[in-house]
Amino acid sequence: MKKNILRLTTIAALSLFIASCKKDPTPSPTPTPKAGTVKLEFNNMSGAESLRMEGNWYKNQNGDSFTVTKFNYYISNIKLNNADGNNFAEAESYHLVQQSVSSSHSFDIANVNAGTYNSITFTIGVDSLHNVSGAKAGALSPDFGMFWTWSTGYIMLKLEGSSPQSSDAGKNFQLHAGGFSGPNSTVRTVTMTLPSAITVNGDENHIHLSADVQKVLGGVKAINLAVTPTIMNAGPNGKMLADNYEKMFTITASGK
């Protein structure tokens, strides 16, 4: 009996000695966070309805019936923001959303730094620097019909259509916001909190935004199409239009 106890004690001691002589395993390296992609997706709306053009009728806050034939706007200088101040700004950040071109309703922001982002900042329109340097290529090409002249610059937003209440001879309306400096500037920058923070780590995240034409026609001040069927130059009416469309965006979802 004593021999068995001694044998077991010896075996246990030997096992502990062998175990203590083994090298600790090399810890696995911590994965390096990777840049990823954030896709912005825009859904143009009229109130609670998805916007449809030509033949689909809506009513604005002023009580005017209207149908839309064109709805274009620039989104630029996009920045993703996080809580610790390590924000990410897209380089050469200029995008033209056109209701009539479905492929323009979404675009990728590539090589976004790894991290968690809880809000987004962007400009509706084109900044003054790119206005004073004349028409550019890509989304800023004058071929899109969103550029007036070298002195007046880009059209930030266009909303066109028809309305029986319009005082225009053809019952049309043309609302073009332009002008990039002074008290009547139509450049607007907004910051919006994401419904859910997005975490970028070598993958793709999505941010879904809606843009409401009803807000363009009345986000701050209701536009009466019998009185103002046309805005085609920089000035107080263009500023009024910009004050309205500053309110047109809602973020409806964010995440993977």
Phi, psi (deg, nearest 5) at residue 13: -65, -40
The tokens 């409401």 sit on which residue? 212
Tokens of 95: 């995008």
Number of Cβ within a 10 Å radius of residue 241? 26
Better pLDDT: 135 or 22: 135
The tokens 């919006």 sit on which residue? 192
8 pLDDT exceeds 50? Answer: no
Q: What is the pLDDT of residue 135?
A: 75
pLDDT in tens, 159-190: 999 999 999 999 999 999 999 999 999 999 99
pLDDT in tens, 80-122: 999 888 899 999 999 999 999 999 999 999 999 999 999 999 9
Q: What is the pTM of this model?
A: 0.87
23 pLDDT exceeds 70? Answer: no
Cα–chain-centroid distance for residue 133?
24
Give the range among 11-25, 35-49, 150-164, 233-247 with minimum mean pLDDT.
11-25
pLDDT in tens, 224-254: 999 999 999 999 999 999 999 999 999 999 9
Nearest Cα neighbor of 45 from 137, 159, 140, 148 is 159
The tokens 């982002």 sit on which residue? 117
Within 13 Å and on the Cβ side, how many CA atoms surround 65?
Answer: 6
Burial 95-132 (b: 16+ CB within 10 A, else e): bbbbbeeeebbbbebeebbbbebebbebbbbbbeebbe
Q: How far apart are CA 213 and CA 238, in angstroms?
A: 15
Of the pLDDT bands very low, low, confident and very high (cuts 50, 70, 90), residue 25 is low
Sign of CA dihedral 77, 197, 115, 32: negative
Q: What is the pLDDT of residue 196?
A: 97
Q: For the chain, what are the domain ranges?
A: 32-255
